[in-house]
Amino acid sequence: SAVISQKPSRDICQRGTSLTIQCQVDSQVTMMFWYRQQPGQSLTLIATANQGSEATYESGFVIDKFPISRPNLTFSTLTVSNMSPEDSSIYLCSVEDLRRGGYTFGSGTRLTVV
């Protein structure tokens, strides 16, 4: 199955600052998905990132707050901008595994905003 390297694994950030999360895949993929998991909650999709085009955001998420880059078929970044304590969550990237079926997830970035 596809292998995803997600960095950083965790961070503690000051409110008002921004954090960029990186996701590297060991194979070329068309779409990459970014999810948020708030404490004690299930996963919620933030946006879908296609290479060479703007990301598609889900309801409740906006590009100014969560800008996404997708420079090539193996890499994507998600930035959490102007952070507040409410942004404290686990952020995960995911790709479809065409060889096996289903989706593979990164190990997640645990973000704490203080």
Q: Which residues bind another protein (CB under 8 A)?
A: 1, 4, 6, 30-31, 33, 42-45, 48, 58, 90, 92, 94, 96-97, 100-108, 110
Closer Cβ to another protein, 5 or 82, answer by number:
5
Least distance to another protein from the beta carbon of 77, Å? 17
Strand-pairing partners, residue 77, are 22, 69
Closer residue to another protein in complex, CB, 16/26: 26
What's the rounded Cα separation, in Å, for the pair 100 and 77?
A: 25
Torsions phi, psi for 60 (to 5 deg): 95, -5
Task: Give the nearer residue to another protein in terms of CB position, either 75 or 96.
Answer: 96
Shortest spacing between CB 48 and another protein, in angstroms = 6
Between CA 87 and CA 3 the distance in angstroms is: 27
Q: What is the nearest approach in angstroms of another protein to the Cβ of residue 12?
A: 15
Minimum CB distance to another protein smaller for 75 or for 97: 97
Distance of closest approach, residue 65 Cβ to another protein, in angstroms: 19
